[in-house]
Amino acid sequence: MLHVVIVAAIVCTACARDSTRRRRIPLRLEVGVPEAPPAAFLAHGESRAPGVRYVADWPIVRGAVTQRPRTPVPWPSEPFSMRTDVSVVFATTIEPDHVVIHAYRELDERGEPTGRPVLTFECDGFSEPRCAFVHTGSETRVDGLLLTADAPHVAVFAFWHIPAADRLRPEIANASASWIFRVNASVP
Protein backbone atom coordinates (compact mmCIF):
# COMPACT_ATOMS: atom_id res chain seq x y z
CA MET A 1 0.00 0.00 0.00
CA LEU A 2 2.80 2.39 0.91
CA HIS A 3 4.41 1.60 -2.45
CA VAL A 4 1.27 2.68 -4.30
CA VAL A 5 1.09 5.99 -2.39
CA ILE A 6 4.75 6.82 -3.13
CA VAL A 7 4.38 5.94 -6.83
CA ALA A 8 1.16 8.00 -7.04
CA ALA A 9 2.89 10.95 -5.37
CA ILE A 10 5.80 10.80 -7.83
CA VAL A 11 3.43 10.56 -10.81
CA CYS A 12 1.31 13.49 -9.53
CA THR A 13 4.42 15.63 -9.02
CA ALA A 14 5.56 14.87 -12.57
CA CYS A 15 2.05 15.71 -13.87
CA ALA A 16 2.06 19.04 -12.05
CA ARG A 17 5.44 19.94 -13.54
CA ASP A 18 4.25 18.89 -17.00
CA SER A 19 1.03 20.95 -16.76
CA THR A 20 2.95 24.11 -15.77
CA ARG A 21 5.18 23.61 -18.81
CA ARG A 22 2.12 23.57 -21.08
CA ARG A 23 0.65 26.80 -19.58
CA ARG A 24 3.77 28.84 -20.17
CA ILE A 25 3.46 32.25 -18.60
CA PRO A 26 5.92 34.67 -20.18
CA LEU A 27 8.47 36.18 -17.83
CA ARG A 28 8.45 39.95 -17.99
CA LEU A 29 11.01 41.68 -15.83
CA GLU A 30 10.64 45.07 -14.19
CA VAL A 31 12.35 47.26 -16.78
CA GLY A 32 11.71 50.75 -15.51
CA VAL A 33 9.55 53.59 -16.65
CA PRO A 34 10.23 56.28 -19.27
CA GLU A 35 11.79 59.47 -17.86
CA ALA A 36 8.67 61.44 -18.84
CA PRO A 37 5.42 60.72 -20.68
CA PRO A 38 6.54 59.71 -24.17
CA ALA A 39 5.19 61.26 -27.34
CA ALA A 40 2.46 59.19 -29.01
CA PHE A 41 1.48 58.86 -32.67
CA LEU A 42 -1.11 57.13 -34.80
CA ALA A 43 0.65 55.58 -37.76
CA HIS A 44 0.00 53.70 -40.97
CA GLY A 45 3.12 52.77 -42.90
CA GLU A 46 5.27 55.91 -43.10
CA SER A 47 2.35 58.27 -42.40
CA ARG A 48 2.12 59.57 -38.80
CA ALA A 49 -0.18 61.80 -36.79
CA PRO A 50 1.26 63.17 -33.53
CA GLY A 51 -1.06 63.20 -30.55
CA VAL A 52 -1.62 66.10 -28.17
CA ARG A 53 -0.82 65.04 -24.62
CA TYR A 54 -4.00 65.76 -22.70
CA VAL A 55 -3.47 64.29 -19.22
CA ALA A 56 -0.39 63.00 -17.40
CA ASP A 57 0.30 61.65 -13.94
CA TRP A 58 3.99 60.72 -13.89
CA PRO A 59 5.07 60.51 -10.21
CA ILE A 60 8.70 59.41 -10.47
CA VAL A 61 11.70 60.54 -8.40
CA ARG A 62 13.65 61.79 -11.44
CA GLY A 63 11.05 64.48 -12.09
CA ALA A 64 7.30 64.28 -11.64
CA VAL A 65 4.95 65.47 -14.40
CA THR A 66 1.32 66.31 -13.68
CA GLN A 67 -1.05 67.58 -16.36
CA ARG A 68 -4.71 67.85 -15.39
CA PRO A 69 -7.70 67.64 -17.78
CA ARG A 70 -8.87 71.02 -19.07
CA THR A 71 -11.62 72.56 -21.15
CA PRO A 72 -11.92 73.40 -23.86
CA VAL A 73 -10.24 70.14 -24.76
CA PRO A 74 -7.25 70.99 -27.01
CA TRP A 75 -8.09 68.68 -29.93
CA PRO A 76 -5.77 69.19 -32.90
CA SER A 77 -7.34 71.81 -35.20
CA GLU A 78 -6.69 69.92 -38.44
CA PRO A 79 -7.52 66.25 -38.84
CA PHE A 80 -4.83 63.92 -40.07
CA SER A 81 -5.79 61.67 -42.96
CA MET A 82 -5.26 58.06 -42.02
CA ARG A 83 -6.22 54.62 -43.20
CA THR A 84 -8.59 52.73 -40.95
CA ASP A 85 -5.93 50.16 -39.98
CA VAL A 86 -3.43 52.01 -37.80
CA SER A 87 -0.92 51.46 -35.03
CA VAL A 88 -0.30 53.46 -31.88
CA VAL A 89 3.38 54.36 -31.56
CA PHE A 90 5.00 55.41 -28.28
CA ALA A 91 8.38 57.18 -28.43
CA THR A 92 9.98 54.80 -25.92
CA THR A 93 11.39 51.28 -25.94
CA ILE A 94 9.61 50.52 -22.66
CA GLU A 95 6.30 48.75 -23.23
CA PRO A 96 3.26 50.11 -21.41
CA ASP A 97 1.44 47.72 -19.10
CA HIS A 98 -2.00 48.67 -20.38
CA VAL A 99 -3.40 50.58 -23.37
CA VAL A 100 -6.99 51.81 -23.89
CA ILE A 101 -8.19 53.58 -27.05
CA HIS A 102 -11.59 55.22 -27.57
CA ALA A 103 -12.94 56.87 -30.72
CA TYR A 104 -15.87 59.29 -30.53
CA ARG A 105 -18.30 60.68 -33.12
CA GLU A 106 -19.21 64.05 -31.65
CA LEU A 107 -18.01 66.59 -29.11
CA ASP A 108 -19.86 69.22 -27.10
CA GLU A 109 -18.97 72.94 -26.99
CA ARG A 110 -16.22 72.25 -24.40
CA GLY A 111 -14.67 69.59 -26.65
CA GLU A 112 -15.79 66.67 -24.50
CA PRO A 113 -17.37 63.57 -26.07
CA THR A 114 -21.17 63.69 -26.14
CA GLY A 115 -21.71 59.95 -25.86
CA ARG A 116 -20.15 56.59 -25.41
CA PRO A 117 -17.19 55.68 -27.63
CA VAL A 118 -18.04 54.25 -31.04
CA LEU A 119 -14.85 52.21 -30.92
CA THR A 120 -13.00 50.77 -27.93
CA PHE A 121 -9.70 48.95 -28.11
CA GLU A 122 -7.96 47.63 -25.01
CA CYS A 123 -4.90 45.48 -24.53
CA ASP A 124 -2.58 44.48 -21.74
CA GLY A 125 1.08 43.61 -21.43
CA PHE A 126 0.50 40.66 -19.08
CA SER A 127 -2.91 39.12 -19.72
CA GLU A 128 -5.51 38.69 -22.45
CA PRO A 129 -6.14 40.52 -24.62
CA ARG A 130 -2.36 40.90 -25.04
CA CYS A 131 -0.95 43.96 -26.78
CA ALA A 132 0.74 43.18 -30.10
CA PHE A 133 3.97 45.08 -29.31
CA VAL A 134 6.52 45.64 -32.05
CA HIS A 135 9.83 47.39 -31.34
CA THR A 136 11.34 49.59 -34.04
CA GLY A 137 14.45 51.51 -33.06
CA SER A 138 13.60 53.74 -30.09
CA GLU A 139 9.84 53.21 -30.34
CA THR A 140 7.22 50.72 -29.25
CA ARG A 141 4.27 50.12 -31.56
CA VAL A 142 0.90 48.56 -30.74
CA ASP A 143 -0.66 47.00 -33.82
CA GLY A 144 -4.20 45.87 -34.40
CA LEU A 145 -6.27 49.05 -34.18
CA LEU A 146 -9.08 49.56 -36.69
CA LEU A 147 -10.60 53.06 -36.80
CA THR A 148 -14.01 53.85 -38.22
CA ALA A 149 -14.56 56.70 -40.65
CA ASP A 150 -17.42 58.12 -38.56
CA ALA A 151 -15.44 58.53 -35.30
CA PRO A 152 -12.78 61.21 -35.89
CA HIS A 153 -11.91 61.96 -32.24
CA VAL A 154 -9.48 59.41 -30.83
CA ALA A 155 -8.16 59.24 -27.25
CA VAL A 156 -5.28 56.95 -26.26
CA PHE A 157 -4.56 56.14 -22.61
CA ALA A 158 -1.59 54.11 -21.36
CA PHE A 159 0.11 53.34 -18.10
CA TRP A 160 3.50 52.01 -17.10
CA HIS A 161 4.52 50.27 -13.87
CA ILE A 162 6.94 52.28 -11.73
CA PRO A 163 9.67 50.15 -10.11
CA ALA A 164 9.87 50.66 -6.33
CA ALA A 165 13.20 52.55 -6.54
CA ASP A 166 11.70 55.11 -8.96
CA ARG A 167 8.48 55.88 -7.06
CA LEU A 168 7.94 59.38 -5.74
CA ARG A 169 5.53 57.91 -3.17
CA PRO A 170 5.71 54.19 -2.31
CA GLU A 171 1.97 53.62 -2.66
CA ILE A 172 1.76 54.95 -6.24
CA ALA A 173 2.90 52.16 -8.57
CA ASN A 174 1.82 53.46 -12.01
CA ALA A 175 2.59 56.38 -14.29
CA SER A 176 -0.09 57.25 -16.85
CA ALA A 177 -0.81 59.63 -19.70
CA SER A 178 -3.35 60.18 -22.43
CA TRP A 179 -3.11 61.67 -25.90
CA ILE A 180 -5.81 62.93 -28.22
CA PHE A 181 -5.97 62.79 -32.01
CA ARG A 182 -8.31 64.13 -34.65
CA VAL A 183 -8.32 61.93 -37.71
CA ASN A 184 -10.02 61.61 -41.03
CA ALA A 185 -10.01 57.84 -41.41
CA SER A 186 -10.47 56.44 -44.90
CA VAL A 187 -11.40 52.87 -45.72
CA PRO A 188 -8.65 51.07 -47.71
| Domain annotation covers residue 6 | no
Does 17 fall in a domain?
no
Helix, strand, coil % (nearest 5) of the chain?
15, 45, 45
| CA nearest neighbour of 83 among 136, 170, 149 | 149
- Residue 187: per-residue pLDDT: 58
Question: d(Cα 149, Cα 181) in Å, to the nearest integer?
Answer: 14
DSSP H or E stretch at residue 12:
helix 2-22
Q: Tell me what pLDDT residue 78 has.
A: 79
Asked whether residue 53 is domain-assigned, the answer is: yes
Answer for the pair 160, 34: CB distance below 8 angstroms, yes or no.
yes
Q: What is the pLDDT along the chain (188 residues), one digit of tens a residue?
A: 434 333 333 333 344 444 444 445 555 566 778 989 999 999 888 888 899 999 999 998 888 899 999 999 999 887 887 767 789 999 999 999 999 999 999 999 999 999 999 989 999 888 888 888 999 899 999 987 877 778 889 999 999 999 988 999 889 999 999 999 998 866 55
Phi and psi torsions of 94, nearest 5°: -90, 120
Task: Give the pLDDT score at 4.
Answer: 37
What would you report as the CA-atom Rg of the chain, rounded to the nearest whole angstrom? 21
Which of 91, 108, 86, 112 lies closest to 183 in space, CA to CA?
Answer: 86
pLDDT value of residue 79: 81
Give the burial class of 179: count Cβ atoms within 10 A of its Cβ; 0-12 exposed, 13-18 middle, 19 or more buried: buried
In a domain, 16, yes or no: no
pLDDT of res. 126:
82
Q: How many domains does the chain have?
A: 1
- Would residue 26 count as lying in a domain? no
Position 23 in a domain: no
This prediction's pTM: 0.80
Owning domain of residue 131: 31-186
The answer to whether residue 123 is domain-embedded is yes
Q: What is the CATH number of the domain that holds 69?
A: 2.70.50
| Residues 101 and 132: beta-carbon distance below 8 Å | no
Task: Find out whether 138 and 145 touch, Cβ atoms under 8 Å.
Answer: no
Does residue 12 lie within any of the structural domains? no
pLDDT at 6: 36
Q: Nearest to residue 75, comparing CAs of 150, 154, 146?
A: 154
